[in-house]
Amino acid sequence: MAPFHRVAGGVFHVMTYSDKLKDPKWQKFRCGRLEAANWKCEHCCSDKSFLHVHHMFYQRDRRPWEYPPEAVVVLCERCHEEWHANEYTLKLAFAKAMRLVPGKRLHVVAKHILEGCR
């Protein structure tokens, strides 16, 4: 789906990611995930911090509310920051493993990464 919406006078405007997060469809999706998590961080169970509804992956041409509920996780500020720090580390490890284990299936690469983390 094209990332456009019509504004006054029939002019089209490219929707930024920030625009999409203001869309009522995202707000409804986000609220549903927060309710399903009982308004607590799904990692540390904190209910004392601002909660983020974090996408675990993105797909081209998919709007933020067009993901299955299991593709997002509710995280507090601290856990969300840690997630991104660890995500970067895992991406580096994955890239290194892909070079060390060329032509292998994803589960073989994942096993190699996990063994390297022990």
3 state SS for the chain: CCCEEECHHHCEEECCHHHHHCCHHHHHHHHHHHHHCCCCCCCCCCCCCCEEEEECCCCCCCCCCCCCHHHEEEEEHHHHHHHHHHHHHHHHHHHHHHHHCCCCCHHHHHHHHHHHCC
Percent of the chain topping pLDDT 70: 65
The residue type found at 25 is: K
- Tokens at residue 42, please? 């799904």
Question: pLDDT value at position 89?
Answer: 76
For 14-36, b where at least 16 C-beta lie within 10 A, e where not — what string? eeeeeeeeeeeebeebbeebeee
User: How, if at all, do strands 72-76 and 51-55 pair?
Assistant: antiparallel
Residue 36 has pLDDT above 80, yes or no: yes
Question: pLDDT value at position 118?
Answer: 39
More confident position, 56 or 27: 27
Number of structural domains found in the chain: 1
Percent of the chain topping pLDDT 90: 36
Residue 35 has pLDDT above 70, yes or no: yes
- Domain extent at residue 97: 4-116
Distance CA 80, CA 41 (A): 9
Over residues 68-109, the pLDDT tens digits come to 888 888 999 999 998 888 877 776 766 666 666 555 555 565
Q: What is the pTM of this model?
A: 0.65
